[in-house]
Structure 1
Amino acid sequence: MTDNPAPSLWSGLHRYRFRSAWELSAPRERVYRVLADPRSYPVWWPEIREVRQLDDRSGVMRFRSVLPYELAVVAAEARQDPLHGVLEAWLDGDLEGVTRWTVTARSPGLTVAVFDEDVIVRKPLMRLLALPARPLFRANHALMMRSGRVGLAHYLSTHGIGLDQ
Protein backbone atom coordinates (compact mmCIF):
# COMPACT_ATOMS: atom_id res chain seq x y z
CA MET A 1 0.00 0.00 0.00
CA THR A 2 1.41 3.42 -0.97
CA ASP A 3 0.65 6.68 0.71
CA ASN A 4 -1.20 9.18 -1.42
CA PRO A 5 -0.22 12.73 -0.36
CA ALA A 6 -3.05 14.36 -2.34
CA PRO A 7 -5.85 13.93 0.27
CA SER A 8 -3.83 15.59 3.03
CA LEU A 9 -2.68 18.31 0.62
CA TRP A 10 -6.26 19.11 -0.35
CA SER A 11 -7.46 18.91 3.26
CA GLY A 12 -4.79 21.45 4.13
CA LEU A 13 -5.96 23.79 1.37
CA HIS A 14 -9.51 23.62 2.67
CA ARG A 15 -8.60 24.10 6.32
CA TYR A 16 -8.50 27.52 7.94
CA ARG A 17 -7.35 28.48 11.41
CA PHE A 18 -8.12 32.00 12.54
CA ARG A 19 -7.42 33.98 15.69
CA SER A 20 -8.61 37.49 16.45
CA ALA A 21 -8.28 39.42 19.72
CA TRP A 22 -10.72 42.22 20.42
CA GLU A 23 -9.96 44.73 23.18
CA LEU A 24 -13.25 46.13 24.47
CA SER A 25 -14.06 48.85 27.00
CA ALA A 26 -16.64 46.92 29.01
CA PRO A 27 -16.70 44.51 31.96
CA ARG A 28 -15.88 40.89 31.16
CA GLU A 29 -19.28 39.61 32.31
CA ARG A 30 -21.09 42.01 30.00
CA VAL A 31 -18.98 41.09 26.97
CA TYR A 32 -19.47 37.40 27.75
CA ARG A 33 -23.27 37.80 28.00
CA VAL A 34 -23.50 39.53 24.63
CA LEU A 35 -21.28 36.93 22.93
CA ALA A 36 -23.26 34.12 24.59
CA ASP A 37 -26.41 35.33 22.80
CA PRO A 38 -25.77 34.77 19.08
CA ARG A 39 -29.30 35.98 18.31
CA SER A 40 -27.97 39.51 19.00
CA TYR A 41 -25.10 39.19 16.50
CA PRO A 42 -27.02 40.55 13.45
CA VAL A 43 -27.81 43.69 15.48
CA TRP A 44 -24.16 44.65 15.98
CA TRP A 45 -22.26 42.60 13.39
CA PRO A 46 -23.36 43.56 9.85
CA GLU A 47 -21.82 40.52 8.17
CA ILE A 48 -23.95 38.15 10.25
CA ARG A 49 -27.07 38.19 8.08
CA GLU A 50 -29.23 35.77 10.06
CA VAL A 51 -29.27 33.74 13.24
CA ARG A 52 -32.23 31.40 13.54
CA GLN A 53 -32.51 29.28 16.65
CA LEU A 54 -33.27 25.59 16.04
CA ASP A 55 -33.45 24.47 19.68
CA ASP A 56 -31.92 25.38 23.07
CA ARG A 57 -28.39 24.50 21.94
CA SER A 58 -28.21 25.11 18.19
CA GLY A 59 -29.09 27.48 15.40
CA VAL A 60 -28.50 28.37 11.78
CA MET A 61 -26.17 31.27 10.99
CA ARG A 62 -25.75 32.95 7.62
CA PHE A 63 -22.91 35.39 7.02
CA ARG A 64 -21.26 37.30 4.21
CA SER A 65 -18.36 39.73 4.19
CA VAL A 66 -16.95 41.70 1.24
CA LEU A 67 -16.56 38.87 -1.29
CA PRO A 68 -19.76 37.89 -3.14
CA TYR A 69 -20.50 34.59 -1.42
CA GLU A 70 -22.52 33.66 1.61
CA LEU A 71 -21.81 30.91 4.11
CA ALA A 72 -24.41 29.04 6.14
CA VAL A 73 -23.70 26.83 9.14
CA VAL A 74 -25.51 25.06 11.90
CA ALA A 75 -23.77 26.04 15.13
CA ALA A 76 -24.26 23.69 18.08
CA GLU A 77 -23.20 24.69 21.58
CA ALA A 78 -20.29 22.56 22.77
CA ARG A 79 -19.28 24.54 25.88
CA GLN A 80 -20.65 27.50 27.77
CA ASP A 81 -18.46 28.29 30.77
CA PRO A 82 -19.05 31.78 32.21
CA LEU A 83 -16.62 31.20 35.08
CA HIS A 84 -13.70 30.73 32.66
CA GLY A 85 -15.15 32.99 29.96
CA VAL A 86 -15.32 30.26 27.31
CA LEU A 87 -17.96 29.81 24.61
CA GLU A 88 -17.46 27.02 22.12
CA ALA A 89 -19.59 25.70 19.26
CA TRP A 90 -19.34 22.97 16.66
CA LEU A 91 -20.06 24.06 13.10
CA ASP A 92 -21.55 22.03 10.28
CA GLY A 93 -22.56 23.13 6.80
CA ASP A 94 -20.47 25.33 4.51
CA LEU A 95 -17.84 25.27 7.29
CA GLU A 96 -17.17 22.26 9.50
CA GLY A 97 -15.19 22.51 12.70
CA VAL A 98 -15.06 24.46 15.93
CA THR A 99 -15.29 28.10 16.92
CA ARG A 100 -14.41 29.48 20.35
CA TRP A 101 -14.58 32.75 22.25
CA THR A 102 -12.37 33.20 25.30
CA VAL A 103 -13.27 36.32 27.25
CA THR A 104 -10.88 37.65 29.91
CA ALA A 105 -10.59 40.83 31.95
CA ARG A 106 -7.44 42.80 31.28
CA SER A 107 -8.28 45.40 33.95
CA PRO A 108 -11.51 46.75 35.48
CA GLY A 109 -13.69 47.80 32.55
CA LEU A 110 -11.28 46.47 29.91
CA THR A 111 -11.89 43.05 28.37
CA VAL A 112 -10.18 40.98 25.70
CA ALA A 113 -12.34 38.62 23.65
CA VAL A 114 -10.26 36.12 21.66
CA PHE A 115 -11.94 34.38 18.74
CA ASP A 116 -10.41 31.09 17.58
CA GLU A 117 -11.72 29.09 14.66
CA ASP A 118 -10.50 25.84 13.14
CA VAL A 119 -12.64 24.82 10.16
CA ILE A 120 -12.70 22.90 6.93
CA VAL A 121 -14.47 24.64 4.05
CA ARG A 122 -17.27 22.54 2.56
CA LYS A 123 -18.77 25.12 0.19
CA PRO A 124 -18.04 23.75 -3.32
CA LEU A 125 -17.01 27.05 -4.94
CA MET A 126 -14.58 27.85 -2.12
CA ARG A 127 -13.11 24.36 -2.37
CA LEU A 128 -12.66 24.79 -6.12
CA LEU A 129 -10.90 28.14 -5.62
CA ALA A 130 -8.93 26.96 -2.58
CA LEU A 131 -5.48 27.64 -3.98
CA PRO A 132 -5.82 30.83 -6.04
CA ALA A 133 -8.30 32.60 -3.75
CA ARG A 134 -6.91 31.62 -0.33
CA PRO A 135 -5.35 35.08 0.31
CA LEU A 136 -8.68 36.71 -0.63
CA PHE A 137 -10.61 34.37 1.69
CA ARG A 138 -8.25 35.21 4.57
CA ALA A 139 -8.52 38.96 3.88
CA ASN A 140 -12.31 38.65 3.67
CA HIS A 141 -12.35 36.98 7.10
CA ALA A 142 -10.07 39.68 8.55
CA LEU A 143 -12.42 42.42 7.30
CA MET A 144 -15.40 40.61 8.80
CA MET A 145 -13.65 40.32 12.16
CA ARG A 146 -12.64 43.99 12.14
CA SER A 147 -16.25 44.97 11.45
CA GLY A 148 -17.44 42.68 14.26
CA ARG A 149 -15.06 44.27 16.76
CA VAL A 150 -16.18 47.78 15.82
CA GLY A 151 -19.84 46.76 15.93
CA LEU A 152 -19.55 45.06 19.31
CA ALA A 153 -17.65 48.00 20.82
CA HIS A 154 -20.38 50.36 19.64
CA TYR A 155 -23.14 48.03 20.83
CA LEU A 156 -21.56 47.73 24.28
CA SER A 157 -21.21 51.51 24.57
CA THR A 158 -24.81 52.22 23.54
CA HIS A 159 -26.70 49.24 25.00
CA GLY A 160 -25.30 49.15 28.53
CA ILE A 161 -28.44 49.80 30.55
CA GLY A 162 -29.38 46.78 32.63
CA LEU A 163 -26.57 44.52 31.44
CA ASP A 164 -24.49 44.79 34.59
CA GLN A 165 -27.30 43.81 36.93
Structure 2
Amino acid sequence: MDLNFYRFDLSWTVGHPKEAVFDALVAIDEYPRWWPDYRRVERIDDDAVAIALRSSLPYTLRVTNRFLVRDAPGGHFRLALDGDIAGWIDFAVTDRADGSTDVHITQECTARKRLLRVFAPVARRAFAHNHALTMRRGRLGLDRLLSTSHQR
Protein backbone atom coordinates (compact mmCIF):
# COMPACT_ATOMS: atom_id res chain seq x y z
CA MET A 1 0.00 0.00 0.00
CA ASP A 2 1.32 3.42 -0.97
CA LEU A 3 1.08 5.54 2.19
CA ASN A 4 1.14 8.70 0.07
CA PHE A 5 -1.93 7.80 -2.00
CA TYR A 6 -5.35 8.97 -0.79
CA ARG A 7 -8.88 8.37 -2.04
CA PHE A 8 -11.76 10.32 -0.55
CA ASP A 9 -15.47 9.80 -1.28
CA LEU A 10 -18.07 11.95 0.36
CA SER A 11 -21.56 13.19 -0.23
CA TRP A 12 -23.32 16.35 0.86
CA THR A 13 -27.01 17.16 0.74
CA VAL A 14 -27.45 20.90 0.32
CA GLY A 15 -30.84 22.56 0.80
CA HIS A 16 -30.53 24.71 -2.30
CA PRO A 17 -31.23 24.28 -6.02
CA LYS A 18 -28.76 22.38 -8.20
CA GLU A 19 -27.87 25.39 -10.39
CA ALA A 20 -26.95 27.57 -7.41
CA VAL A 21 -24.89 24.78 -5.84
CA PHE A 22 -23.07 24.02 -9.09
CA ASP A 23 -22.38 27.69 -9.80
CA ALA A 24 -20.88 28.19 -6.33
CA LEU A 25 -18.71 25.07 -6.53
CA VAL A 26 -17.39 25.74 -10.02
CA ALA A 27 -16.40 29.34 -9.10
CA ILE A 28 -13.14 28.34 -7.41
CA ASP A 29 -11.92 31.96 -7.46
CA GLU A 30 -14.61 32.72 -4.87
CA TYR A 31 -13.81 29.90 -2.43
CA PRO A 32 -11.85 32.10 0.02
CA ARG A 33 -15.07 34.11 0.60
CA TRP A 34 -16.91 31.09 2.02
CA TRP A 35 -14.48 28.16 2.46
CA PRO A 36 -12.06 29.19 5.22
CA ASP A 37 -9.39 26.62 4.37
CA TYR A 38 -8.87 28.22 0.95
CA ARG A 39 -6.44 30.94 1.97
CA ARG A 40 -5.62 32.23 -1.51
CA VAL A 41 -6.75 31.58 -5.08
CA GLU A 42 -5.00 33.13 -8.06
CA ARG A 43 -6.28 32.81 -11.62
CA ILE A 44 -3.70 31.34 -14.03
CA ASP A 45 -5.91 31.22 -17.13
CA ASP A 46 -9.53 30.42 -18.07
CA ASP A 47 -9.16 26.81 -16.96
CA ALA A 48 -6.70 26.94 -14.06
CA VAL A 49 -6.12 28.48 -10.65
CA ALA A 50 -3.29 28.30 -8.12
CA ILE A 51 -4.54 27.76 -4.60
CA ALA A 52 -3.10 27.80 -1.10
CA LEU A 53 -4.96 25.58 1.38
CA ARG A 54 -4.50 25.35 5.12
CA SER A 55 -6.73 23.40 7.47
CA SER A 56 -6.21 22.47 11.12
CA LEU A 57 -2.71 21.03 10.89
CA PRO A 58 0.22 23.47 10.60
CA TYR A 59 1.06 23.16 6.92
CA THR A 60 -0.11 24.83 3.72
CA LEU A 61 -0.73 22.96 0.48
CA ARG A 62 -0.03 24.74 -2.78
CA VAL A 63 -1.93 23.16 -5.64
CA THR A 64 -2.86 24.06 -9.18
CA ASN A 65 -6.42 23.11 -10.13
CA ARG A 66 -7.11 22.77 -13.85
CA PHE A 67 -10.56 22.04 -15.24
CA LEU A 68 -10.69 18.80 -17.21
CA VAL A 69 -14.51 18.74 -17.43
CA ARG A 70 -16.99 21.57 -16.84
CA ASP A 71 -20.54 20.45 -17.65
CA ALA A 72 -23.12 22.76 -16.01
CA PRO A 73 -26.23 21.08 -17.53
CA GLY A 74 -24.96 17.68 -16.41
CA GLY A 75 -23.93 19.03 -12.98
CA HIS A 76 -20.41 17.66 -13.27
CA PHE A 77 -16.89 19.02 -13.16
CA ARG A 78 -13.48 17.48 -12.72
CA LEU A 79 -10.21 19.15 -11.80
CA ALA A 80 -6.66 17.94 -12.29
CA LEU A 81 -4.51 18.61 -9.22
CA ASP A 82 -0.80 19.36 -9.43
CA GLY A 83 1.70 20.65 -6.89
CA ASP A 84 1.95 19.51 -3.27
CA ILE A 85 -0.67 16.92 -4.17
CA ALA A 86 -1.24 15.43 -7.63
CA GLY A 87 -4.29 13.67 -8.97
CA TRP A 88 -7.90 14.73 -9.54
CA ILE A 89 -11.12 15.71 -7.82
CA ASP A 90 -14.57 15.12 -9.26
CA PHE A 91 -17.84 16.89 -8.33
CA ALA A 92 -21.24 15.49 -9.34
CA VAL A 93 -24.21 17.71 -8.49
CA THR A 94 -27.74 16.27 -8.81
CA ASP A 95 -31.31 17.39 -8.05
CA ARG A 96 -33.36 15.77 -5.32
CA ALA A 97 -37.16 15.48 -5.49
CA ASP A 98 -37.53 17.79 -2.47
CA GLY A 99 -35.71 20.68 -4.21
CA SER A 100 -32.41 20.17 -2.44
CA THR A 101 -29.21 18.97 -4.11
CA ASP A 102 -26.84 16.05 -3.67
CA VAL A 103 -23.15 16.69 -4.16
CA HIS A 104 -20.86 13.69 -4.53
CA ILE A 105 -17.13 14.41 -4.33
CA THR A 106 -14.48 11.87 -5.23
CA GLN A 107 -10.79 12.65 -4.97
CA GLU A 108 -7.71 10.59 -5.73
CA CYS A 109 -4.33 12.12 -5.07
CA THR A 110 -0.76 11.40 -4.16
CA ALA A 111 1.03 13.54 -1.61
CA ARG A 112 4.14 15.18 -3.05
CA LYS A 113 4.85 17.68 -0.29
CA ARG A 114 7.93 16.42 1.54
CA LEU A 115 6.42 16.95 5.00
CA LEU A 116 3.41 14.77 4.11
CA ARG A 117 5.58 12.06 2.59
CA VAL A 118 8.00 11.90 5.53
CA PHE A 119 5.27 11.75 8.18
CA ALA A 120 2.80 9.53 6.27
CA PRO A 121 3.79 6.35 8.17
CA VAL A 122 2.77 7.87 11.52
CA ALA A 123 0.39 10.69 10.57
CA ARG A 124 -1.66 9.30 7.67
CA ARG A 125 -4.81 9.14 9.82
CA ALA A 126 -4.27 12.71 11.00
CA PHE A 127 -3.88 13.87 7.39
CA ALA A 128 -7.14 12.12 6.42
CA HIS A 129 -8.90 13.64 9.43
CA ASN A 130 -7.55 17.07 8.44
CA HIS A 131 -9.07 16.57 4.97
CA ALA A 132 -12.42 15.62 6.56
CA LEU A 133 -12.38 18.83 8.61
CA THR A 134 -11.61 20.87 5.49
CA MET A 135 -14.52 19.30 3.65
CA ARG A 136 -16.87 19.82 6.61
CA ARG A 137 -15.99 23.52 6.75
CA GLY A 138 -16.55 23.70 2.99
CA ARG A 139 -20.00 22.15 3.33
CA LEU A 140 -20.97 24.57 6.10
CA GLY A 141 -19.54 27.56 4.23
CA LEU A 142 -21.42 26.62 1.06
CA ASP A 143 -24.68 26.44 2.97
CA ARG A 144 -24.04 29.86 4.57
CA LEU A 145 -23.16 31.37 1.20
CA LEU A 146 -26.26 30.02 -0.51
CA SER A 147 -28.55 30.89 2.42
CA THR A 148 -27.27 34.47 2.36
CA SER A 149 -27.60 34.83 -1.42
CA HIS A 150 -31.19 33.49 -1.36
CA GLN A 151 -32.21 36.02 1.30
CA ARG A 152 -31.42 38.93 -1.01
TM-score (norm 2): 0.96
1:115 shift after superposition: 1.3
Structure 2 residue runs of 5 or longer lacking an equivalent are none
> Is 1:16 aligned to residue 12 of structure 2?
no
Q: What is the aligned partner in structure 2 of residue 128 from structure 1?
A: 118
State how 1:94-133 maps to structure 2 within 5 Å.
94-133=84-123
> Is 1:58 aligned to residue 58 of structure 2?
no
Equivalent of 2:129, from 119, 139, 142? 139
CA distance in 1, matches of 2:72, 2:121: 39
Secondary structure, counterpart of 1:39 in structure 2: helix
**CA deviations over 1:18-42 (Å, ceiling 9, x no partner):** 1121110110011001111101111
CA RMSD of aligned residues (A): 1.2
The size of the alignment, in residue pairs, is 152
CA distance in 2, matches of 1:26, 1:161: 12
Secondary structure, counterpart of 1:67 in structure 2: coil
Q: What is the aligned partner in structure 2 of residue 93 from structure 1?
A: 83
Q: What is the aligned partner in structure 1 of residue 15 from structure 2?
A: 25
Q: What is the aligned partner in structure 2 of residue 152 from structure 1?
A: 142
Counting aligned pairs with the same residue, the percent is 38
1:106 shift after superposition: 1.4
Q: Work out whether residues 47 and 64 of structure 1, in 8 Å CA contact, stay in contact via their aligned partners in 2.
A: yes
Instruction: Please identify the structure whose Cα radius of gyration is greater.
Output: 1
**CA deviations over 1:74-101 (Å, ceiling 9, x no partner):** 1111000112211101011000000111
Structure 1 residue runs of 5 or longer lacking an equivalent are 1-8
1:109 shift after superposition: 2.3
CA distance in 1, matches of 2:122, 2:51: 27
